[in-house]
Amino acid sequence: MRINGVEIVDTFAEAFGMWGARFCVTAENSRWLDAAARSVTGFATSVIGCGCEAGIERYLDTSETPDGRPGVHVLLFTPSKKNMGKQLVGRIGQAVMTCPTTACFDALEGSERVPVGAGLRYFGDTFQVSKMLDGKRYWRVPVMEGEFLVSDSFGMQKGVGGGNFLIIGRDAASVLRAAEAAVDAIGSLQGVILPFPGGVVRSGSQVGSRYSFLPASTNVAFCPTLRGLVESALPDDSNSVLEIVIDGLDDEGVAEAMRTGIRAACIEGILQITAGNYGGSLGDHLFRLHEILEKSAGDGNE
């Protein structure tokens, strides 16, 4: 399969089951909204090193937020239900409650609930106030600025982490351009996030290492500087690779994001699109590139 002359390798991305939560952060203006959103999603690129993966799903219009202020939807993923509460309480407590003018609301209906405000309320030192409105409980926690408002519990659901594709090109500039185009295209979709910086990974990993103490190491097969030293997976003339990693609330969302991103990345200077996997034995969600792309009746298929 080729799109705009770019070869799409007949392979699959191997992703894993995760638990996902969506919450809404609002603030008085975009300055403080950005500050809170960046802070709460900071250092959340990979569950291996950060304990969770998080990112901004989308910015919200004032008509879409519970309190009519500028807002943002954040998605956060953890490998286990147990870890979700810890991550939400820690991050919202440290990165949203501390930020001037903010409030934080649950934005995912679901029977699986994790207490968040119910834990953060104790910061109020017995002066916190509960409010129940339309079947939802909120906590008003007194803070030096005034009050911090937070939902009592947050919904979570089974999601998918680690959907991915790799962009292989002739030079670093072309690959970066393609990755940026993919990130921009995926940015218009809901239900997915790209947890890495700017949505792009340059240091994709392989399972294991020549060092016994490391569980993962650089993906040598895709490192252009190692061609000739190791068994390379790179085509001739390729000199740079970037990876897009996608987490989503469901399979369909991740597949749609991969489809959208891959199509956007097939530009001048790109030689090949492939995906990272472990042979299909570790992950429980397999996204076959050809199957995903065949579903789109797009232009440029060859």
Partner 1 sequence: MMAMNENRSVYLESFIEDTLPVEAPCLTPGSVLGRSEKEIASLPVLVGNRKQKIGDIFRISRSGDDFLVVGGNLRHVKRIGQKMETGILLIKGTPGMHLGEEMSGGELRVEGDIPDWCLCGMSGGLAHVSGSAGNMTASALPGESRGMKGGVVVIAGNTGSRTGDAMRRGLIAIGGNAAEFGGSRMVAGTIIVCGRLARRAGGGMKRGSIIALGGVDDILPSFAKTCRYRPSFIPLYMKYLAEQGLPVDDSITSGEFVRWVGDCTSLGKGEILEHEVA
CB of 63 to partner 1, least distance (A): 10
Burial code (b: 16+ CB inside 10 Å, e: under 16) for 237-255 equals ebbbbbbbbbbbbbeebbb
CB of 260 to partner 1, least distance (A): 34
Q: Which is nearer to partner 1, 137 or 202 (CB)?
A: 137
CB of 67 to partner 1, least distance (A): 4
Helix (H) or strand (E) holding 183: helix 172-186
DSSP label of 96: I
β-pair partners for 174: none
Query: Is there binding between residue 43 and partner 1 (CB under 8 A)?
Result: no
Query: Is there binding between residue 121 and partner 1 (CB under 8 A)?
Result: no
- Which SS3 state, helix, strand or coil, does residue 94 take? helix
Number of chain positions touching partner 1 (CB under 8 A): 18
CB of 72 to partner 1, least distance (A): 16
Query: Is there binding between residue 29 and partner 1 (CB under 8 A)?
Result: no
Query: Is there binding between residue 166 and partner 1 (CB under 8 A)?
Result: no
Q: Which is nearer to partner 1, 67 or 237 (CB)?
A: 67
φ, ψ of residue 46 in degrees (nearest 5): -145, 135
Contacts of 90 (CB under 8 A, 6+ apart): none
Query: Is there binding between residue 146 and partner 1 (CB under 8 A)?
Result: yes
Task: By CB under 8 A, name the one of 24, 54, 69, 167 that touches partner 1.
Answer: 69
Query: Where does this chain touch partner 1 (CB under 8 A) — which range of 4-12, 81-89, 131-139, 165-173?
Result: 131-139
β-pair partners for 104: 25, 150
Structure tokens at 90: 């820690």
Is beta strand 205-207 parallel, antiparallel or unpaired with respect to 6-8?
A: unpaired
φ, ψ of residue 185 in degrees (nearest 5): -70, -45
Task: By CB under 8 A, name the one of 5, 10, 67, 198 that touches partner 1.
Answer: 67
Distance CA 274, CA 297 (A): 20
Task: By CB under 8 A, name the one of 22, 73, 140, 263 that touches partner 1.
Answer: 140
Q: For residue 92, which of 79, 103, 78 has the smallest C-alpha distance? A: 103
Task: By CB under 8 A, name the one of 129, 173, 207, 282 that touches partner 1.
Answer: 129
Residues in region 72-111 near partner 1 by CB under 8 A: 103
Write out the residues near partner 1 by the rule CB under 8 A: 66-69, 103, 127, 129-134, 138, 140, 146-149
